[in-house]
Amino acid sequence: MAVASLVLPLSSCSGNKGQAAKPPTMATKEGQESNPSNRWNIIPAMSDNSQNDDAKKLHDFDRALFVGAPDILNAYYEYDDPQNYYTEWPTDGLVSYGQEEYTQAVKSYQECIDYLEALNQDNLSESEKRLVEDMIFDFETKRDYYSYAEFIPALTPTSGNQVLYPLLLSLIQFKSKADIDRYLKVLDDFYDFFLKAIEIEEDRSKAGIGWSDENLDLMIKDCENMIANKNVHFMKTTFESRVGALKLSSTEERSYNEKNMSLLEEKYFPIYELMIKRLTALKGSKKSSDYLASTTRGREYYQTLFKLRTGTSISVDDGIDKLQAKIDEVFDQYYPIWQKRGSIFPFGGLDFDEAREWCERFTKEHFPAISANTVSVYEVPKEFKDTMPPAAYYVSPIDNYTKHTVWLNSGLVGDARYSMYTLISHEMYPGHLYQHQYQAENLDNCYQSFGASTPYAEGWAQYAEWMMIHYAPFEQEMAEAAWMAEMLFSALIAARLSIGVDYQGWDYDRCLTYVKKYKQDEKVMDEYWERITSSQGYALEYAFGYMMTSEIIDDAAKRLDGKCTLEEVVEAYLNLGCAPYEVLSRDMDKFVKENS
């Protein structure tokens, strides 16, 4: 039978810390590093043999990159307590990013590059050299990316800030009245923040590089959802429940609830109503062919986006060849199995707790140990059902890497198309949560633990899913076939279509011709088209992250067959930390030669 579609919302690692660079402080505050009351000691120190001047400069630079959040909302998710990391609470609730900020980011990243390139490499250890390579690769990539500020959206149809920021705010836990006051400051800044975002989108539309009518409709729907049910609005009910848990006096509790409602009525609801009005006014301003490939700078911008989303230095054209080869390999191998079985949909009927217990237990049995941790699992409000993935992990605080947060979209997790087993494998064990904590505990720097690139993180999480398939309590052929189907249709083909549209100028019909080769029809193409045109570089980090990670680990395991187990190879890979895939490939090759 024809293969059914598996174009599903991808899992998501939501913790991207710091949208734009800031000029780094080159040293930590004098005297505080040795303060025994400061919880900084949970961050690994550099080894004793690395205390020459250049290593010390790198060490201080590495720590200083994470000093200070741009605003209060980011601070809540970057730190358990900012004072643990030589910093104070910001005074701004929200800080907007636009042309001016991105221009400064370009200068700041270049400053970082200059600082690192001035270090004497001969005075650095192998791990320190790898850290420098990772930093310079990332800083050059982001410097180039922010050079195309006019193409960077302020609002996006796929899990955009118009949805993400209310969710982030609604999940902040109140430990004191100071938390409430900071929360209200963030809420007070919503109007100005999103007003600037609207103005940026209006400028992009005037330049012919804004969102299509279909994508504007998606954002308008988001805005409508974010202000629906005002009398029992989630920004009202979640606030009241958190304030009530503090056991304040009835007078204080009533006062805070009144302040919250006042800000909702004066700032929150009005800005969303204004976004609906002004986004609606932009409809009709974009031609169907006006994607990135339609302008010279748009294609150049896509090349920087491609490097950012793939973690490689390969050209887009070479990336197309690599991706296409993988697509054909997977389809040719698994299509006969899908035909035989008549279905490729995900497998298993485990619920969240069952899947978590199984994945955590097998991770402990087959992967290096991590210390005890706490995991807070939050169900996102029902208003987010259609705009958030079924589950997402948010990176732990810099000053407390054993404190983890997982979001659960209960409106989606019961969908028969999803396997809770693979969601837990991806987001928690041995995916994002495990990888993040393991490297925070075992690497000798902060950047490779807390500034990890998206393709590296998603590549590991996808490969973690694939490894756990082979420990799964399901029939193996069925589980492998179902997982590879999701990889092919949700990531690999989706990424190929994304490159086609944004870089090669493919229209809908050209994309439809392509997907028909893989037994897909117009209905499936409609779903692809919505996702691809509503997210720049859609699925690149998942497709290339998985391809590169599996290629590096599987090649090493094959070459060391009989000498090292897969688990030992995986441990060696994790111990390298985040780096460009070319660097990881080189260093894993060195590991193979040393153990052959």
Which of the listed residues 267, 285, 303 is the one where a domain comes to its end?
Answer: 285
- Residues 133, 28 within the same domain: yes
pLDDT band with cut points at 50, 70 and 90 for residue 529: very high
How many structural domains are present in the chain?
2
In a domain, 180, yes or no: yes
CB neighbour burial string for 160-199, b if at least 16 within 10 angstroms, e if fewer: bbbbbbbbbbbbbebeeeebbebbbbbbbbbbebbeebbe
Mean pLDDT of 96-112: 91
DSSP string computed for 367-408: S------EEEEEEPPGGGTTTS-SEEEEPPPTT-TTEEEEEE
Mean pLDDT of 409-427: 75
pLDDT tens across 547-571, in order? Answer: 999 999 999 999 999 999 999 999 9
- Residues 134, 197 within the same domain: no
**Taking Cα atoms as reference points, which of 483, 467, 458 lies closest to residue 542?**
458
Instruction: Mean pLDDT check: name the lowest of 1-10, 11-20, 46-55, 215-224.
Output: 1-10
In a domain, 264, yes or no: yes
Mean pLDDT of 265-270: 98
Which of the listed residues 132, 151, 170 is the one where a domain comes to its end?
Answer: 151
Mean pLDDT of 100-106: 91
In a domain, 23, yes or no: yes
In a domain, 290, yes or no: no
- Residues 29, 106 within the same domain: yes
pLDDT tens across 300-347, in order? Answer: 999 999 999 999 999 999 999 999 999 999 999 998 888 887 666 555
pLDDT at 42 over 70: no
pLDDT at 517 over 80: yes
DSSP classification of residue 487: I
- Residues 176, 120 within the same domain: no
Cis peptide before 430, with omega less than 30 degrees from 0? Answer: yes
- Residues 19, 144 within the same domain: yes
Average pLDDT, the chain: 87
pLDDT band with cut points at 50, 70 and 90 for residue 9: very low
Taking the whole predicted model, whether its pTM rises above 0.85 is answered as yes
386: which 2 tokens?
């259609």
**According to the model, what pLDDT value does residue 516 have?**
96
Give the number of other Cβ atoms within 10 Å of residue 26's Cβ: 11
**According to the model, what pLDDT value does residue 51 have?**
65
Contact by Cβ (8 Å): 209, 290: yes
pLDDT at 29 over 60: no
pLDDT band with cut points at 50, 70 and 90 for residue 21: very low
The span from the CA of 153 to the CA of 147, in Å, is: 13
Contact by Cβ (8 Å): 424, 552: no
Which of the listed residues 269, 285, 301 is the one where a domain comes to its end?
Answer: 285
- Residues 41, 147 within the same domain: yes
- Residues 127, 26 within the same domain: yes
Mean pLDDT of 405-423: 74
DSSP bridge partners of 540: none
Mean pLDDT of 515-536: 92
DSSP classification of residue 267: I
pLDDT tens across 469-497, in order? Answer: 888 777 788 888 888 998 999 999 999 99
Please report how many Cα atoms fall inside a 13 Å half-sphere around the Cα of residue 353, on the Cβ side: 0
**According to the model, what pLDDT value does residue 495 have?**
97
pLDDT at 3 over 90: no
DSSP bridge partners of 339: none
Amino acid, single-letter form, for residue 106: V
- Residues 198, 98 within the same domain: no
DSSP bridge partners of 12: 392
**According to the model, what pLDDT value does residue 124 have?**
95
In a domain, 530, yes or no: no
In a domain, 499, yes or no: no
pLDDT band with cut points at 50, 70 and 90 for residue 285: confident
High-pLDDT (> 90) share of the chain, %: 67
pLDDT band with cut points at 50, 70 and 90 for residue 27: very low
pLDDT tens across 169-190, in order? Answer: 998 999 999 999 999 999 999 9
pLDDT tens across 574-589, in order? Answer: 999 999 999 999 999 9
pLDDT at 5 over 80: no
Contact by Cβ (8 Å): 248, 256: yes
- Residues 131, 22 within the same domain: yes
- Residues 28, 147 within the same domain: yes
289: which 2 tokens?
């062919």
Mean pLDDT of 460-465: 95
pLDDT at 417 over 60: no
Query: In 129-227, which ranges are E strands?
Result: none
- Residues 17, 145 within the same domain: yes
The span from the CA of 416 to the CA of 433, in Å, is: 25
- Residues 60, 28 within the same domain: yes
Mean pLDDT of 19-34: 36
**According to the model, what pLDDT value does residue 84 have?**
84
486 φ/ψ angles, rounded to the nearest 5 degrees: -65, -40
In a domain, 482, yes or no: no
| Dmax (CA) of the chain | 72
**According to the model, what pLDDT value does residue 394 have?**
84
pLDDT at 286 over 80: no
Q: What domain range is 168 assigned to?
A: 161-210+213-285
**Taking Cα atoms as reference points, which of 406, 401, 393, 394 lies closest to residue 443?**
401
pLDDT at 39 over 50: no
In a domain, 136, yes or no: yes
